[in-house]
Amino acid sequence: RVPFDESWGPKQKAETPYGQLPYMIYNGKRYAQSLAIGAFFARKFGFYGKSEEDGLRIDEVTNLFMDSRSYVRTWRTAPDAQKKEEALQALKTEGIPRFLGYFEALLADNGSTGFYVGNSLSLADMIVYDFTDTAIDFSTKEVLGSYPALLKLRANVVANAN
């Protein structure tokens, strides 16, 4: 684990593959990028579905999640207080509802299981759980009230012992 505090500086950045976190060392080699690392371990430990089509859906959800991050990135990098406030409002009123709707619809496509593929936990479920945490952080827990499938997904993730 790498502490992200005042000790994180140029020397530590130089040790990473791209000058940023996350990265991991596996079998003596350095690897980076959160989704690549997540996908690697999901495949290794059985959280990438049972078929190529399952993997395709997981990749779709994962890439949609990356699209959603543009709203947060715009807010974080806003050049001044006014732009930051505008970006925050766009995140709350456009970004979060838009992507909650997309994630809800994709869940419905798998029936009422509360999972994106099959009837067991996958990388897609964990990623969307993270997204819903962000949505709650920027809004309130009630933001998920209109999304029953996402509420079921959250319960499924929390209930998983892995």
**Hey, how many other C-beta atoms are within 10 angstroms of the C-beta on 159?**
9
Mean pLDDT, 10 residues at a time, the chain of 162 residues: 72 89 94 95 96 97 95 92 94 94 97 96 97 89 92 96 72
The pLDDT, as a whole number, for residue 2 is 66
What are the structure tokens assigned to 11, written together?
Answer: 């020397």
The pLDDT, as a whole number, for residue 33 is 94
Peptide bond into 17 cis (omega under 30): no
The pLDDT, as a whole number, for residue 118 is 95
Q: Answer yes or no: are the C-beta atoms of 1 and 16 closer than 8 Å.
A: no
The pLDDT, as a whole number, for residue 142 is 87
71, amino acid identity: Y
57, amino acid identity: R
The pLDDT, as a whole number, for residue 9 is 82
